[in-house]
Every structure is written in C-alpha cells, then in structure tokens.
Amino acid sequence: MVGQMLLAEFYSFL
C-alpha cells in the first residue's frame, strides 16, 4: 500500500 503523506509530517507549524 502506498499512502499520501501530509506536509505537516515533515515541517512544523509556525
């Protein structure tokens, strides 16, 4: 299975 990652899994919210 291939899942779509979210940006927040890599970058933090300011």
Partner 1 sequence: MFEARLIQGGLLKKLLESVKELVTDANFDCSESGIALQAMDNSHVALVSLLLRSEGFDPYRCDRGFSLGVNLNSLNKILKCAGNDDIITLRADDNSADSLSLSFENPNNDRIGEYELKLMDIDQEHLSIPETDYDATIIMPSAEFQRICRDLTVVSESVTIDVSKDTIKFTAEGELGSGNIKLKSTSSIDKPEESVNIELGQDVSLQFSLKYLMNFTKGTPLSEQVILCLSEKMPLLVEYKMDIGYIRYYLAPKIGD
Q: Which parts of this chain interact with partner 1 (CB under 8 A)?
A: 1-14
Angle at 5 between CA 7 and CA 3, to 5 degrees: 170
| Min separation Cβ 1 and partner 1, Å | 5
- DSSP assigned state of 9: G
Question: Distance (Å, rounded) from C-alpha 8 to C-alpha 1?
Answer: 21
| Min separation Cβ 2 and partner 1, Å | 5
| Min separation Cβ 5 and partner 1, Å | 4
